[in-house]
């Protein structure tokens, strides 16, 4: 039974109780039926014997009365009644011989039969004498001491039989009552046995319930406490991660704005370089146009220098932001690894959080790779900016020389055109790089937003897990109180 389930134990206990109840009911019904049938049969038979015995007395007295009537008037019908009464008397004797069970009653019945035969033998001569003398009217003439003695003996023997049969009836009633009492005692014993078995089964089931449920609830309380502690750690880590992701999102937003500004500046530089190239090509027409173009070129070169310097500063800022993004990516990767470890320790509850942490780590790796690519592009931009600055300085010197020597204007303008073309190519590369950087930063921004959303969901899930663990601990305590283990 110790290895059986509690449901099996309940079913077994209930089945055993029902079986005991059925056995008790069947035994009770059988005992009562037997006692009642025996009592009815015994008392009915004894009562019939008593009635037949009383009828013997009545028949004997009727026979004596008819016999006296015959002696008074000598009529045959009274003699017939006398004979009929004797036949009925003998029939009752025969019936009583088949129903009387006690030796005393049987012996007294035989005494009655013998006395009746003697009485019949004593009466028969008197009847014959009355038959032969029909004119006699005085009954005293037929008085015989033998008849009187036999009549008295017959009545006394019948009275003795009746007394014995009445005593047998009382004894039978007493025996039936005793058997009924025994049956009632048997039923009481069966009831007490069934109650004892039911109480024993209830005690065993209660003890097993308290022991098994108490042990199980103790394990549940321990597990819920561990789960609550893990959920608390998850909530704390989720809050820290949410704060870090908020900072990352803000920084990426600023980086995105800066990238867009760099793209716009690069586009303007590209346009200026294109305009400068067109002006240089038109510088071969006339000296005046050359001078005008030189002035314009000088102005444009100054703007280019300023824009290049600004572009260099922006590139340095972008480099700082990229360094920050790389550092944030490394921190995010470390946080994701720690979150994966914590989720692995949390078991089933941390499986979804482990998946999210793995995606965050992958995103951090992609962010670090994109930051490296941005760093390489920024280095290219810086090189191009330096080249452009140097080219613009050379162009400025060439413009100054062209102002002094218009003969060399054409060659100078050609050199300027070549340098501007180079600048145009570099600005195009810068524009493409900044567009790629903007796209990458936008992707990082979207990923950071998704990560922040997942972090908030994870934090909410951890809070719900903590509440569930606390509720489970409370329920386990209530269950311990219900099963009555006496401790929580």
User: What's the chain look like in SS3?
Assistant: CCCCCHHHHHHHHHHHHHHHHHHHHHHHHHHHHHHHHHHHHHHHHHHHHHHHHHHHHHHHHHHHHHHHHHHHHCCHHHHHHHHHHHHHHHHHHHHHHHHCCCHHHHHHHHHHHHHHHHHHHHHHHHHHHHHHCCCCCCHHHHCCHHHHHHHHHHHHHHHHHHHHHHHHHHHHHHHHHHHHHHHHHHHHHHHHHHHHHHHHHHHHHHHHHHHHHHHHHHHHHHHHHHHHHHHHHHHHHHHHHHHHHHHHHHHHHHHHHHHHHHHHHHHHHHHHHHHHHHHHHHCCCCHHHHHHHHHHHHHHHHHHHHHHHHHHHHHHHHHHHHHHHHHHHHHHHHHHHHHHHHHHHHHHHHHHHHHHHHHHHHHHHHHHHHHHHHHHHHHHHHHHHHHHHHHHHHHHHHHHHHHHCHHHHHHHHHHHHHHHHHHHHHHHHHHHHHHHHHHHHHHHHHHHHHHHHHHHHHHHHHHHHHHHHHHHHHHHHHHHHHHCCCCC
Q: Is the pTM of this model over 0.75?
A: no
Q: Report the distance separating Cα 352 and Cα 322, nearest Å.
A: 31
Q: Report the distance separating Cα 50 and Cα 102, nearest Å.
A: 13
- CA distances (Å), 2 to each of 5, 15, 206, 480, in order? 8, 18, 13, 21
Name the residue with tokens 């524009």. 431
Residues spanned by the domain of 23: 6-216
> Is 221 contained in some domain?
no
Domain CATH number, residue 31:
1.20.120.1730
pLDDT at 107 (0 to 100): 92
CB 248 within 8 A of CB 374: no
- Non-local (6+) Cβ contacts of 185 within 8 A are none
> Is 1 contained in some domain?
no
Residues 176 and 254 in one domain: no
> Is 251 contained in some domain?
yes
CB 330 within 8 A of CB 341: no
Residues 242 and 211 in one domain: no
Domain boundary among 186, 216, 246: 216
Residues 249 and 208 in one domain: no
pLDDT at 114 (0 to 100): 93
Residues 95 and 210 in one domain: yes
- Non-local (6+) Cβ contacts of 314 within 8 A are 258, 261, 262, 265
Residues 365 and 458 in one domain: yes
Residues 277 and 389 in one domain: yes
- Extract the tokens encoding 379: 């280095």
Residues 211 and 240 in one domain: no
pLDDT at 303 (0 to 100): 79
| Full pLDDT tens readout for the chain, 488 residues | 555 665 666 677 778 777 877 777 777 667 666 655 655 555 666 778 888 888 888 998 898 888 888 877 778 888 899 899 999 999 999 999 888 888 998 899 999 999 989 988 888 888 887 777 766 555 555 556 777 888 889 889 999 988 998 888 888 888 878 887 887 888 888 878 878 887 887 787 777 767 776 777 677 767 777 777 877 887 777 677 777 777 777 877 777 787 677 667 767 766 776 777 676 677 666 656 666 766 776 677 677 767 777 877 887 787 788 788 778 878 887 887 887 787 777 777 777 777 777 888 788 788 888 878 887 887 887 787 778 778 777 876 776 776 666 566 566 656 766 766 776 676 777 677 777 777 876 786 777 677 777 777 777 777 787 788 777 777 777 666 665 654 54
CB 412 within 8 A of CB 402: yes
Residues 467 and 421 in one domain: yes
pLDDT at 84 (0 to 100): 93
- Non-local (6+) Cβ contacts of 365 within 8 A are 329, 333
Domains of the chain: total: 2
> Is 292 contained in some domain?
yes
Residues 158 and 283 in one domain: no
pLDDT at 337 (0 to 100): 82
Domain boundary among 193, 216, 239: 216
> Is 189 contained in some domain?
yes
- Extract the tokens encoding 88: 């009925």
pLDDT at 89 (0 to 100): 92
Residues 255 and 117 in one domain: no
pLDDT at 412 (0 to 100): 63
pLDDT at 481 (0 to 100): 66
pLDDT at 88 (0 to 100): 93
- Extract the tokens encoding 167: 């005593």
Residues 239 and 356 in one domain: yes
Residues 161 and 268 in one domain: no
CB 398 within 8 A of CB 265: no
pLDDT at 30 (0 to 100): 74
> Is 406 contained in some domain?
yes
> Is 122 contained in some domain?
yes
CB 335 within 8 A of CB 356: no
Q: Report the distance separating Cα 411 and Cα 293, nearest Å.
A: 14
């Amino acid at each position: 039974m110790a290895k059986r389930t509690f449901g099996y134990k309940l079913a077994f206990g209930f089945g055993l109780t029902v079986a005991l109840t059925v056995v008790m009911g069947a035994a009770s019904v059988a005992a009562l039926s037997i006692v009642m049938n025996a009592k009815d049969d015994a008392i009915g038979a004894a009562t019939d014997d008593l009635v037949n015995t009383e009828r013997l007395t009545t028949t004997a007295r009727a026979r004596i009365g008819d016999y006296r009537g015959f002696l008074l008037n000598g009529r045959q019908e009274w003699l017939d009644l006398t004979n009929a009464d004797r036949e009925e008397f003998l029939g009752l004797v025969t019936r009583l011989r088949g129903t009387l069970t006690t030796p005393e009653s049987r012996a007294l019945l035989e005494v009655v039969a013998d006395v009746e035969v003697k009485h019949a033998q004593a009466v028969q001569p008197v009847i014959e004498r009355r038959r032969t003398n029909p004119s006699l009217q005085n009954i005293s003439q037929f008085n015989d001491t033998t008849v009187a003695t036999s009549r008295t003996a017959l009545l006394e023997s019948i009275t003795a039989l009746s007394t014995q049969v009445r005593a047998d009836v009382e004894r039978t009633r007493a025996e039936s009552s005793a058997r009924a009492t025994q049956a009632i005692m048997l039923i009481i014993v069966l009831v007490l046995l069934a109650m004892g078995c039911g109480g024993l089964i209830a005690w065993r089931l209660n003890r097993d319930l308290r022991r098994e449920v108490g042990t199980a609830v103790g394990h549940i309380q321990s597990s819920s406490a561990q789960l609550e502690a893990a959920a608390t750690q998850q909530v704390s880590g989720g809050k820290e991660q949410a704060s870090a992701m908020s900072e990352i999102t803000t920084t990426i937003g600023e980086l995105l704005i800066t990238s867009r500004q760099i793209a716009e500046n690069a586009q303007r530089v590209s346009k200026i370089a294109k305009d400068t190239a067109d002006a240089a090509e038109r510088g071969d027409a006339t000296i005046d146009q050359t001078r005008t173009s030189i002035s314009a070129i000088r102005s444009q070169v100054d703007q280019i220098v300023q824009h290049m310097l600004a572009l260099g500063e922006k590139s340095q800022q972008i480099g700082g932001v990229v360094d920050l993004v790389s550092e944030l990516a490394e921190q995010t990767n470390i946080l994701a690894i720690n979150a994966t470890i914590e989720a692995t320790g949390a078991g089933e509850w941390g499986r979804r959080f482990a998946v999210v942490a793995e995606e965050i780590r992958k995103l951090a790796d992609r962010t670090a790779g994109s930051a490296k690519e941005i760093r390489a592009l920024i280095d290219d931009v810086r090189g191009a900016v330096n080249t452009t600055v140097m080219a613009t300085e050379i162009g400025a010197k060439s413009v100054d020389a062209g102002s002094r020597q218009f003969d060399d204007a054409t060659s100078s303008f050609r050199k300027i055109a070549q340098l501007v073309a180079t600048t145009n190519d570099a600005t195009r590369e810068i524009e493409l790089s900044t567009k790629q950087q903007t796209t990458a930063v936008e992707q990082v921004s979207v990923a950071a937003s998704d990560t922040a959303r997942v972090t908030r969901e994870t934090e909410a899930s951890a809070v719900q897990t903590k509440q569930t663990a606390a509720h489970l601990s409370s329920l386990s305590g209530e269950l311990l109180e219900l099963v009555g283990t006496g401790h929580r």
